[in-house]
Amino acid sequence: MFDDESARHVARFMGDEALACQVLSDDHANALQTGRPPIIRFIIPEQFAWEQKLIDDYYDYRYRQVLDPLYEQMRQWETGELRHYDIDRAIHATHKKNQELYSLFTNQRDFLVRLIQMDRDWFEPWLVEHPAPEGVALVWPF
CA 8 to chain centre: 21
Handedness of CA 56, 62, 68, 70 (dihedral sign): negative
**Residue 105 reports pLDDT greater than 90:** yes
> Closest Cα partner for 64 from 34, 32, 35, 101?
101
pLDDT score, position 65: 97
pLDDT-based confidence at residue 135 (cuts at 50, 70, 90): confident
Work out the pLDDT band at 44, boundaries 50, 70, 90: low
- Of the ranges 16-20, 99-103, 133-137, which is most confident? 99-103
pTM above 0.85, yes or no: no
CB-count exposure of residue 6 (10 Å: 0-12, 13-18, 19+): buried
pLDDT above 70 as % of the chain: 87
**Cα 131 to chain centroid, rounded:** 14
| CB-based contacts of 133, cutoff 8 Å, min separation 6 | 1, 46, 47, 50
Span 49-91, pLDDT tens digits? 899 999 999 999 999 999 999 999 999 999 999 999 999 999 9
pLDDT greater at residue 108 or residue 14: 108
Question: What pLDDT shows up at residue 2?
Answer: 46
